[in-house]
Amino acid sequence: MLTRKQLELLDFIRLRMEADGVPPSFDEMKDALDLKSKSGIHRLITALEERGFIRRLAHRARAIEIVKLPEAMEKPGFRPRIVAETPPPPPGALPVEAIHAMELPVMGRIAAGVPIEAINHVSHHIAVPGSMLSGNGQHYALEVRGDSMIEAGINDGDVVVIREQTTAENGDIVVALVEDQEATLKRFRRRGGMIALEAANPAYETRVYPDHAVKVQGRLVGLIRTY
């Protein structure tokens, strides 16, 4: 009679051979049975071989042949896996809900400091919670470089989520393209025929440009911080 672990291992080997045509590696067996070391797998393999259920072929890697199966294992629907009971949740625990996420292109880096060269290429993509996206417009992400917006909670290394738009209200934090050459992340203020791009750090001066020199390329709608 086989032990529960021996049955689990034999069943795992059988399923892998049926699916892939080759037996699993010792590391795969160890992970499947949740054992801490491969020595436990060696003991189980030896026990199965001594009982005549498998045969190891000499001088060949991963060479295990199933000779026979226990009668119980040949019955349809047999699975020796142990299913652990789910423990009750802690008092006051909230139910876990699936979060809708979308992948956004990361369009390089944006300066929260001195403006940098305009951004126009995708460096990689990042998953963003759907709740962070504003309306049905197009969105993209940018990596922040600099500390000019730290008092607005935007730090060097953060990723900001931007909704594409060409207009902004006073006080919005926007991606501004200055003179078609430099892009920066600043707070937007309209002053008559001039546009002020305000930092959120007293170490940086507010920059003021003629209206035609500043193009809004998007508005900040979310932020992702990594530690």
Shared-domain flag, residues 212 and 109: yes
CB 189 within 8 A of CB 198: yes
Strand stretches in the chain, DSSP E: 54-56, 64-66, 101-111, 116-117, 124-129, 139-145, 159-163, 173-178, 182-191, 194-198, 207-210, 214-224
Tell me how far apart the alpha carbons of residues 204 and 220 are, in angstroms, rounded to a whole number: 20
Tell me how far apart the alpha carbons of residues 139 and 136 are, in angstroms, rounded to a whole number: 9
Shared-domain flag, residues 59 and 122: no
Shared-domain flag, residues 211 and 111: yes
Which CATH number does the domain housing residue 211 bear? 2.10.109.10
CB 157 within 8 A of CB 139: no
- Assess if residue 84 is contained within a domain: no
For every residue of 131-193, DSSP letters joined together read GGS-TTS-EEEEEEESSTTGGGT--TT-EEEEE--S---TT-EEEEEETTTEEEEEEEEEETT
Residue 133: closest CA among 160, 177, 176, 163 = 163
Active-site annotation holds for 215: no
- Assess if residue 164 is contained within a domain: yes
Shared-domain flag, residues 127 and 68: no
- Assess if residue 54 is contained within a domain: yes
User: How many residues does this entry show for the chain?
Assistant: 227
Active-site annotation holds for 131: no
Handedness of CA 64, 68, 74, 79 (dihedral sign): negative
Active-site residue, selected from the candidate residues 38, 39, 123, 148:
148
Q: How many CB atoms lie within 10 A of CB 48?
A: 22
Residue 181: closest CA among 122, 120, 112, 123 = 120
Look up the domain containing 11 and give its range: 4-74
Which CATH number does the domain housing residue 53 bear? 1.10.10.10
- Assess if residue 69 is contained within a domain: yes
- Assess if residue 175 is contained within a domain: yes
| pLDDT by residue, tens only, the chain of 227 residues | 678 888 888 888 888 888 877 788 888 888 888 888 888 888 898 889 888 888 887 655 567 888 888 776 666 655 555 433 445 667 777 666 655 677 888 877 787 755 545 566 677 788 887 777 766 788 888 989 889 999 999 999 899 999 999 999 999 999 999 988 888 999 999 998 999 999 999 999 999 999 999 999 999 999 988 76
**pLDDT value for 90:** 72
Tell me how far apart the alpha carbons of residues 174 and 141 are, in angstroms, rounded to a whole number: 12
Give the total number of structural domains in the chain.
2
- Assess if residue 108 is contained within a domain: yes
**pLDDT value for 82:** 40
Reading the block at residue 112, the tokens are 């929260």
**pLDDT value for 150:** 93
Shared-domain flag, residues 140 and 45: no
**pLDDT value for 83:** 39
- Assess if residue 81 is contained within a domain: no
Shared-domain flag, residues 65 and 147: no
Shared-domain flag, residues 114 and 214: yes
Active-site residue, selected from the candidate residues 5, 134, 186, 215:
186
- Assess if residue 92 is contained within a domain: no
**pLDDT value for 227:** 64
